Amino acid sequence: MQPKFILLCSMIISALSLNAQEEEVKKTRNKNNEYKKWSAGLAIGITPLPDNQASLLPGIEYFIDDRFSVYNEVALHLDKSYHADSAVLNKKYFRYKAEFRYYFSMFSYPFLGLQFTTATRKFDIEKGGNYFERKQGDSTWVFDRASVNSPFIATTLQLGTIKRLIKELFLESSIGCGFKVVNTEYKAISNLRKDRYSGLLNFKPIASYRYIGKNLQCHFTFFMRLSYHF
């Protein structure tokens, strides 16, 4: 009888232990669901306009369940002040980003995201400039004044992680790569002429709005933001 009694006691203890573990998992899941239902965050970015001024990036994330979420963000151009000696005026920029995320585990915070971005940007060049055509080798188009319209869309695959700082305050960081389609148009051009390009070592600018027409480019991202989960 003694071995059976010992076996019965072991089974009871194991059952009680498993039940306690299940209750702890439920408590943890409920706690996670409380702060993982929504999150709101803020970041600072660089506006892809001449002079590369700062942008404010407010965003909000909705957690569908323990693994999936939808993140939405807008970019707002901060410095719109005009200066008498400025060569670029009437800057307008607005970007919207939506990202579908998959979290690998509810007990840790690495995630994989598929991101879609659309942006509008416009500005006027008042003190001379130039633009390029992709098919041209060492030549450029020079002008005295022009209005530039250069919207773009992008699709990016993101890999990121979220780290708790204090209580429900988190630091999120991610890197990504994908493709961007830019469609740039120069209008109201004054004194347009073709010239030979003689930049530093003949390297052309990397800014996408310096090339007319529709262009497909590789797109790389690095992102950090503070978020509060509630």
Residue 11 has pLDDT above 50, yes or no: no
**22 occurs within a structural domain:** no
pLDDT band, very low/low/confident/very high, at 117 (cuts 50, 70, 90): very high
**16 occurs within a structural domain:** no
**3 occurs within a structural domain:** no
Q: 3-state SS of the chain: helix, strand, coil percent to 5?
A: 20, 60, 25
Backbone dihedral angles phi then psi of residue 18, each to the nearest 5 degrees: -65, -40
CATH number at 198 reads 2.40.160
- Number of structural domains the chain divides into: 1
The domain in which residue 147 lies consists of 37-229
Lowest-confidence pick of 16-30, 69-83, 147-161, 214-228 = 16-30
pLDDT for 87? 84
Classify 100 as helix, strand or coil.
strand
**133 occurs within a structural domain:** yes
List, for residues 53-105, the tens digit of each pLDDT value.
Answer: 889 999 999 999 888 999 999 999 887 655 555 788 889 999 999 999 999 87
10: enclosing H helix or E strand: helix 2-36
**59 occurs within a structural domain:** yes
* Burial class of residue 20, CB neighbours in 10 A (0-12, 13-18, 19+): exposed
List, for residues 144-202, the tens digit of each pLDDT value.
Answer: 999 999 999 999 999 999 888 998 899 999 999 999 999 999 999 999 999 887 766 66
What type of residue is 165? L
Residue 17 has pLDDT above 70, yes or no: no
Residue 225 has pLDDT above 90, yes or no: yes
**48 occurs within a structural domain:** yes
**94 occurs within a structural domain:** yes
**29 occurs within a structural domain:** no
Distance from chain centroid for Cα 141: 32
Task: Kindly tell me the number of DSSP H helices and DSSP E strands found in the chain.
Answer: 1, 12
